[in-house]
Amino acid sequence: MKKLLFTVLSILTLAGCKEKTQKEEIERDTLDVKIDSTFQTAVKQYRYLSNQVTLGEYPKTFYKDKEGLETSNSGWWCSGFFPGTLFYLDEAVGAQDLKEEGVAILEDLKKEQFNTSTHDLGFMMYCSFGNAERLAPKKEYEEILMNSAKSLSTRYNDTVQAIRSWNSAPWNKAGEDDLVVIIDNMMNLELLFWATKHSGDSTYYDIAVNHANTTIENHFRKDYSSYHEVIYDELTGKAKLKITNQGAADSSAWARGQAWGLYGYVVMYRETKDKKYLEQAKSIANFLLNHPNLPKDKIPYWDFNAPKIPNALRDSSAGAIIASALIELSTYTTGEISSKYLNDAKVMLKSLLSSEYIAEVETNGGFILKHGVGNMPNNTEVDTPLSYGDYYLIEAMLRYKELNK
């Protein structure tokens, strides 16, 4: 009798495992098909978008009911995302015309390699020239990236042990002897790691590590949510003020800020293999994924503590950044936690690839993702497409496809 019962249980268990495996395969195949379809839509959109701008104009966003397409010059922090997305799309499906468009844009963008007035050279130069160099290495690209890293490193303050973000923030009472650091700056460290690997000069690596350590110490609360901005006394290195400029309140968890932090510490672990950065990334991920205000479709509200939840706006750009980071993070972890990160990333991708978020061809100004939120408190780029939302969505899809080869 016992033997019979054991046999029956074994059969049921095996059947259950087989059913689960088949379901996972169906879900994976469905997501793969949707990703392939979205790549094709994205190529059409970016061909359309490219025809809306001339060389020296960089798409930022699109206002459906106002002035239409908004662009910037090469000095704006988002300038690298447009050519970077073009390179990603060529990598994904082989769109030679988009690649050529991206290469042409680099000719205008390359002057920013000497720009020491911004901390965003990682976004501007690594998302563009970094991808170009990775896919088609050139000495010229290497030189431009090295000069960009040198320019970024001029903003490092050894007393604070951090890179200056904004030159000033008078609206937050930042004074002459103050140094402002925003959580976004974690995203610019990847350029510095590349510079050390390329040149053998550890200076860039050390700056990145010091900045990340200072950020861990001062930007994060006990629950691993982060402030947007910390103001330091650059003469003493002490943190003076902790605020959230683009979020709902100083004490709130601004969604894209949390996404920048997660992504940044995943990069830190990848580049250093120091487990404290892995633990930091996991702790941030756990804060996000277990937050009671994270919707079932995993696309966050623009702030986890936004007023009017559940009727607050979502931020698709934050969802795309988090999904991309989680896919990579899942490769550095094992077991149930790895599966959770990947499964939650898949839920995010499924949501982002739905008609709720993916624009129809030749709508949305040519951008791919709808429903991004740039700066709610300043009422700019609210419920609009965002160039970085598109960039990290394409990156997340590429990472997922690579994982499932």
The pLDDT value given to residue 204: 98
* Confidence at 152, pLDDT banded by 50, 70, 90: very high
pLDDT(176) > 80: no
* Confidence at 65, pLDDT banded by 50, 70, 90: confident
Task: Provide the strand spans (E) within 130-203.
Answer: 156-157, 162-163, 178-182
What is the residue-averaged pLDDT of the chain? Answer: 94
Measured CA to CA, the distance from residue 303 to residue 236 in angstroms comes to 32
State pLDDT tens for residues 349-400.
Answer: 999 999 999 999 999 999 999 999 999 999 999 999 999 999 999 999 999 9
State pLDDT tens for residues 98-117.
Answer: 999 999 999 999 999 999 99
pLDDT(245) > 70: yes
Given the structure tokens 């709902």, which residue do they identify?
Answer: 248
Q: State which of 14-28, 157-171, 236-250 shows the largest mean pLDDT.
A: 236-250
Measured CA to CA, the distance from residue 386 to residue 28 in angstroms comes to 28
The pLDDT value given to residue 25: 55
Full DSSP string of 335-349: HHHHHHHHHHHHHHH
Entry pTM = 0.93
The reply to whether 29 belongs to the active site is: no
State pLDDT tens for residues 258-290.
Answer: 999 999 999 999 999 999 999 999 999 999 999
Q: Which of 184, 303, 344, 390 is catalytic?
A: 184
The reply to whether 250 belongs to the active site is: no
Mean of the pLDDT values across residues 232-246? 94
* Confidence at 177, pLDDT banded by 50, 70, 90: confident
132 close to 106: Cβ distance less than 8 angstroms:
yes
Mean of the pLDDT values across residues 195-214? 98
Q: Which two tokens stand for residue 263?
A: 């992504």
The pLDDT value given to residue 404: 85
Q: Which of 32, 90, 97, 120 is catalytic?
A: 120
pLDDT(57) > 80: yes
- CA nearest to 109, candidates 52, 58, 69, 147: 58
State pLDDT tens for residues 75-85.
Answer: 999 999 999 99
- CA nearest to 207, candidates 244, 236, 181, 230: 181
Burial of 207 (0-12, 13-18, 19+ CB in 10 A): buried
pLDDT(14) > 80: no
Mean of the pLDDT values across residues 220-236? 96
